[in-house]
Structure 1
Amino acid sequence: MLKVAIFDDEFIVIEGLKKMIDWSKYGMELVGTAKDGNTALSIFHSQRPDIIFTDIRMPGLDGLQLIGKILSEAPETKCIVFSGFNEFEYVKQAIKLGVIDYLQKPITIPMVEEALEKITHRITKENEVLELRSRWHESQEELLQKATLDLLLEGKEAESKWQECFGTAEAKKIMGVTVLAYSGDRSLLQSNAMFSVVPVWNGTTQLLVLFHYENNLETVAEQLLAWTEQEEVTIGSGNTYPAIKDAKKSYREALHALRYGRFLESKGWTRFEDVGKNNKIPEDLSAQEEAVLYYMRTGNKKSLLGQLDIYIQWLDSQKLNPDMTESECLKLVYLGLEVVKETGEDIKLIGYYPQREIRELNTREEMTNWLFCQMEKMIDLIITSKISNKHKAVEKAREYIEKNYDQDITLQEVAELVGMNPNYFSVLFKEEMGLTYIKYLTKYRMEQAKIMLKAGQKISEVSEKVGYLTYRHFSEVFKKYTGMTPGQFKES
């Protein structure tokens, strides 16, 4: 129902319109009347009517002043003025303010009904235009989302189509692209002057593709941290690339980071840089192959064997000939060996020729059993390596962190120190310490910062001493960790 209000200092006008007009016939409801401008403004604020009939001359605020205030706050309000015979100059002012019609006194019921029909028709047309515009925008958004998903899946081949949907002129302004994968109820990241955000759904995972208009990675980091503070969300981020076609790389990295983020932390933000990569493993693996390697790295034997079943079903669905099936199984075994090497184990490959072994097999069942046997041996080796190396490697890493926490020490650097792949080391560190590498480093820095602040040291000096380049970043991390700013902590 549309809301209507009538403002006039003549009792007979208000009462006549109340009783003589069937408002419901026009899909309207009379929600308020007033005899003076001040009361009328109060009714407007409380009821927010869609349509207002008002006299030009009233006590307090006159009709023109009232219309000016109303339309400045709610320009979509439909205003109709009542005017006397000699008030045409006032009517012209009212029209300039934005009234849509005027009725000359004395007011008759047919005049009002005709005005209501005009208003109803006008509102219907406006709503139709708004709906068409809304549908057009939704259609454009859907096209952009589809083109962006194609960009993530195909890279360079889909770039020209994406540019058409995004806008060629806008696309030329882009300086970089970052992909985020997340699991949570909603995204708190919105497009702004620094970057455009395109939400994408790939069928299993919620994604945000950030197209940067300027070098604003620190601002993005701040917004991601704020998002994780307000919502129960797990975010994985890929690297930022200057070329649009490399959104495909960032996409795969974001999925990789999200998967390990879930394993390592369950909630919060995990960067691809935090979990590392093995340069000897190709980037264009299938989802089934990546899942097999994931369960190997995390030492989850039960899930690995289950995933191998899924992998074999996937191979069958590809309808490969025996030679291709043999090649795919052999490929997975060599990928598995690379994951074992990530543990730092010195694997002796002398006398082990999987390519010879598999060529002696004749049936699909023999190949499948052989693959399961090889992968099971490797996961057992990884589990044994974890048990024997976990404490020694993590203790060495912990000592290094505590000696160098004032420096920009990366996961890659610490993993190299203990002779492990960053991906594998991050899993090992979390299992041993109960915290991810990043969380542990942050916790240690914040505890040291608290000691320094208690000793009376300046906040800017403390920020630098615990490894933060900017006071702002240090202050935000400190507040998240302690619940108060460094200044508040110092005062307390």
Structure 2
Amino acid sequence: MRNVLLVDDEPLIVQGMQSIIDWNANNMQIADTARNGVEALSKLEDSPVDLVITDIMMPQMSGLELIREVKARSPFTKFIILSGYEEFNYVREGITLGVENYLLKPVNIDELEATIKHMQHDWEREEIRQIQMDQSWRILRNNILQRWANETIDAKEFRERALLLEIPMTKSSYNAAALRIVAEPDHGVNDPQLYRPKIAEQCENIGNEQLPDGCEIICFPDQEGDIIVLFASSSLEGEEWQHKALHGMKQWIAADTGACVWGVIGQAEQTYLGFPLSCSKVKQWLQNHLFIGSETSIVTTGSDGEPVSFLEKREPAMEQFHKLLRDGESLEVNRFIDQFFDVQMDSHVARKPFFNSAIQLMLAAKDLEKTPDYGGVFGALSRIHTLSGLKQLVKRVIHQTLDTYHTIEKDYSPHVLAVLDLVKNHYKEELSLKTLSQKLDLHPNYLGQLFQQEAGTSFSDYVNQYRIERATHLLLYSDKRAGEVGAEVGYGDTSYFYRQFKKYAGVSPTELRLMYMKK
């Protein structure tokens, strides 16, 4: 909202100017009034304004003198002169001072509004120039684009920001694409997450090198680290130019980061209002698929062409796998995992059946542990984008378990065995070393030290890990709500249950269920 100061020694003129037009509709407000130049200067010292509308002939200080003084202090303030004197000398001097217009009394409404609209365009251009000189312009634009893609920005605010930030809104075709940068674990590739904005900036430069007439490209990183590409076109150019631009960006990122890069293009929408939908479909496609191999062609959503029936039926032979785990056959376990994940497909597969099966395999191994730690399972799953990465995770988790399970088991003292048994049978109840030590006729401190020494973890951690293990099974294999699950395993406070689950499992209960997508 722009602030306006009215300066005139005639009260009726001041009152009339306040109501002559709808100032709010023009994104302006009358901040204050003054009867002469001296009073105006005094008020401007405390509250600078964007526009001064002033009479010329006033006592103590004329309008022209006021303009000279204000311009010396605030060079960006704009001025409109009012006068009942149609004298060329005033007009000429006003023009010399750089006023926006010279309006005769009584003021013509249309001329005043036209002058204001002209000033608003000037202000917008000045703002753009000032912002563009600062790197914050790109940060601001990325923020607005992210909110637009996620549909978390009000339509009016977006239109205002889009005009300021030169985001196209009048094209006839809009669609989104995404470039996913995948640095697999243990491949010696530095994760380029920290400089994604720079990558997006360079991608935009590459995409704009050979654009067809009427087409625009804007690139920005989203909150998940993907580079989102906005394609906007005012003509029916087809998809060839988009594929060509995306391919150039993809090649540059791969060369610059050493990582694998995959590109997905969404369906076109007819107005800028459809861009969030196109973006959502691209992100959903990425969420639902795993990539195969180190190099793929650019995928267009809606054209998977994958044998769904085969993928939906792909489940591991769990009885065979359980036997291999119990026998400790590491080579056979590896062979089993390799055969299961050996898929003869092009570029990508559906994520759901492979994630479900991977979770089954890892939980089967975790069931062998006395105090399963799920942090390395579910937290790592959220960062998996490829079938090979998923296979590596499954092997790592399972072999970590086998390494400890098939060593010589510890001989627990009778007191610690009693504690373990009490936790197993009463984990839903309130448990503490104080109450357990009374049952065992031991000092709480001694029992705590003994348990830590033999179990390798504190009593409270053991109880929480056991409860989270039971909660994990309920979340995956029942339809109970998360709050009900928490209460069933001993957490009366739902928010506390969420915090503990996140701490020990690495993901929230909701995120866990999203990973394990039920059939």
Q: Give the shorter-chain TM-score range.
A: 0.3 to 0.5
Q: What is the TM-score when the length of structure 2 is the normalising length?
A: 0.31
Richer in helix (by share):
1
